[in-house]
Structure 1
Amino acid sequence: MEELRNAIINVLRKVRAHRNLYVRNEEAVKQHLIGEIFQALGWDWNNPEEVRPEERTEDGRADYSLILDGGVFAYVEAKNMGVNILKRDEPLRQLARYCFNSGVRYGILTNGTVWIAVKAFEEGSRLWDRVLVAVNVEEEPLERAVLKLSLLSKARIRDIERLSSLLKALELSFEGLRREGYSEKTLVEYLTSREGSTTVPVTELRGDESPKAAYVYDNGWKLLPLPEKSIKGVLLAVLLYIEKKSSGYQREEIRKAYEHIRTLKLDPKTALEVLRKLEEEEKLRIAVEL
């Protein structure tokens, strides 16, 4: 989802630089913001076999239709950023009418920064009860926005109802357990722990262990390849991880440190001290599997 993450960041940059344009100009929102997000979601924005602009319906023209398996899967309605689509009912009702009268099951309403996906019809339900995804990329944490928007990707949108239901259940369970006194850290570690493994934070190591694997926490625990199964190997793996996340002078310095340590006969306890210092300075969470 790195491409989607980068697209959201780029959209936010554009909005910060040209907000007045996007507040009044719907066409600019379509061309500069919406298209970039859909491209990152895997839709070929300029291919009429996947995306068609100005799709005619009985109630007017939908701004876009998303095509899957040769048929319209969802209509997309665009507004400028001056339209508060989370508070105004009419834009969503307009979209629902387009869908209902054409037999299209799903609709997506967006003003470039706020996105709403809705199930257009279901007997005995109200419109806002059928909202599957609602995300405001300006106000929500980036990773949360990325995950929610990913439900609109070409690869996942067929399962949007099931995935939306799972995501809502996760959110409700998570918040319920937090209200019961469990910390967010404890819950995240529970969800991301690996069954059958003994994973220990570096702060609890003695230095005489033989690690099988190393992990760093980066929006979830990520496995780091070990150049050797030792505390020194964990240190080298962490340095490579930091190098990839760095740039310019800092990256060069980390590479030099890596090459220097790689050639040393480093005492395990010294390697552990360096690891703990790195964890503190770089604000990392590092763990090893024993």
Structure 2
Amino acid sequence: MEELREAIINVLRKVRAHRDLYVRNEEAVKQHLIGEVFQALGWDWNNPEEVRPEARTEDGRADYALMLDGKVFAYVEAKNLGVNVLKRDDPLRQLARYCFNSGVRYGILTNGTAWIAVKAFEEGSGLRDRVLITVNIEEEPIERSVLRLSLLSKSRIRDVERLSSLLRALELSFEGLKGEGYPERVLIDYLTSGGSSTTVPVGKLRGDETPRAAYVYDNGWKLLPLPEKSIKGVLLAVLLYMEKTSSGRRREEIRKAYEHLRVVPLPPEKALEVLRKLGEEEGLRIAVEL
């Protein structure tokens, strides 16, 4: 995911610096923007076993064909940045014809920043009903773009229909619960919790508990090794985590605090007080498993 995130950031930088070029020049969009994203998605952009440019169809040439197991899995149609691929129907219909007349199930339409993936045919459904994912990296959070575009990765694209359905269900459920009055933060905490019914935040502890494990939230809950199974052990584990994620003088100060607290007697209630204060001052979300 990190490589894809970096690719999206690079695309945004290029567009902001050279927008006029990409509005006028479709070839620049292909070479500078689309290729970089597909590379980050795991496709070997210069390998004809995986990506074939100017793929012939009965209705014309698709800009690219994505190959899996020696067969075309999806066609890719590129437009310049001046074409709003998310709203205009004619480029999407053009792509759907390429797919339908060649028996290719999926199509991807992009202008470098906006992306749309579609299932080319299904009895009794309209074209817009068959849209699997849409992405607009200029207008939505990067993490959202990363997750949605990841469905087009070489390792996941075989399951794009199932994954897009799961993602849509997650989004609808999340918005539905927000509409019922549940705070967004509560829902995120629920989804990212460690999964153990005995995991509680430090703010809910009394001080007389015996922790089995400690966690800190850093783009997901991360397990911290416990020097000892006590509240003091949790405090020491958090300090070690802070040391690893710091540098320079701050890192030295954290190490000194760790070495001092490691050898001095510290009652559980006092250790819990220090732990809570540390979490508040540093903006850390800390939890323990009992």
**Structure-1-length-normalised TM-score:** 0.89
Which stretches in structure 1 are left out of the alignment for 5+ residues?
Answer: none
Quote the offset at 1:280 in angstroms.
Answer: 3.0
C-alpha separation in 2, matches of 1:283 and 1:223: 17
Corresponding residue of 1:57: 57
Can you list the C-alpha shifts for 1:62-104, whole angstroms capped at 9, x where unaligned? 1111111110100111112111111111111111111111111
Quote the offset at 1:212 in angstroms.
Answer: 2.0
Identify if the C-alpha distance between structure 1 residues 137 and 273 changes in structure 2 by more than 3 Å, giving closer, same or farther.
Answer: farther
Can you list the C-alpha shifts for 1:114-145, whole angstroms capped at 9, x where unaligned? 11110011111111110001011121122221
Quote the offset at 1:227 in angstroms.
Answer: 4.2
Tell me which amino acid in the other structure corresponds to 1:107: G
Pairing of 1:218-257 with structure 2 (within 5 A): 218-242=218-242, 251-257=247-253
Corresponding residue of 1:86: 86
Tell me which amino acid in the other structure corresponds to 1:117: A
Is contact 1:23-1:80 (8 Å) kept?
Answer: yes
Can you list the C-alpha shifts for 1:129-185, whole angstroms capped at 9, x where unaligned? 100010111211222211111111111110111111111111111111111111112
C-alpha separation in 2, matches of 1:148 and 1:81: 20
C-alpha separation in 2, matches of 1:148 and 1:187: 20
Corresponding residue of 1:43: 43
Pairing of 1:121-140 with structure 2 (within 5 A): 121-140=121-140
Tell me which amino acid in the other structure corresponds to 2:257: I
Can you list the C-alpha shifts for 1:38-76, whole angstroms capped at 9, x where unaligned? 111111111111111111111111111111111010011
Kindly report the root-mean-square deviation, in angstroms, between the aligned alpha carbons of the 2 structures: 2.2
Work out which of the two has the higher radius of gyration on C-alpha atoms and give 1 or 2.
2
Is contact 1:99-1:105 (8 Å) kept?
Answer: yes
Pairing of 1:3-18 with structure 2 (within 5 A): 3-18=3-18
Moved more, 175-184 or 5-14: 5-14
Identity %: 80
Is contact 1:80-1:111 (8 Å) kept?
Answer: yes
Query: Residue 259 of structure 2 is aligned with which of 254, 258, 263?
Result: 263
Is contact 2:216-2:286 (8 Å) kept?
Answer: yes
Is contact 2:242-2:254 (8 Å) kept?
Answer: no
Corresponding residue of 1:289: 289
Q: Give yes or no for the alignment of 1:106 onto 2:106.
A: yes
Moved more, 105-114 or 179-188: 179-188
Corresponding residue of 1:179: 179
Identify if the C-alpha distance between structure 1 residues 148 and 103 changes in structure 2 by more than 3 Å, giving closer, same or farther.
Answer: same
Tell me which amino acid in the other structure corresponds to 1:211: P
Is contact 1:58-1:101 (8 Å) kept?
Answer: yes
C-alpha separation in 2, matches of 1:178 and 1:245: 34
Identify if the C-alpha distance between structure 1 residues 237 and 56 changes in structure 2 by more than 3 Å, giving closer, same or farther.
Answer: farther
C-alpha separation in 1, matches of 2:62 and 2:99: 9
Which stretches in structure 2 are left out of the alignment for 5+ residues?
Answer: none
Identify if the C-alpha distance between structure 1 residues 75 and 17 changes in structure 2 by more than 3 Å, giving closer, same or farther.
Answer: same
Identify if the C-alpha distance between structure 1 residues 156 and 255 changes in structure 2 by more than 3 Å, giving closer, same or farther.
Answer: same
Pairing of 1:15-26 with structure 2 (within 5 A): 15-26=15-26
Structure 1 stretches of 4+ moved >6 Å: none
Instruction: Tell me the number of residue pairs that the alignment of Structure 1 and Structure 2 aligns.
Output: 286
1:152 partner SS: coil
C-alpha separation in 1, matches of 2:138 and 2:245: 24
Tell me which amino acid in the other structure corresponds to 1:26: E
Is contact 1:242-1:254 (8 Å) kept?
Answer: no
C-alpha separation in 2, matches of 1:172 and 1:93: 27
Is contact 2:77-2:95 (8 Å) kept?
Answer: yes
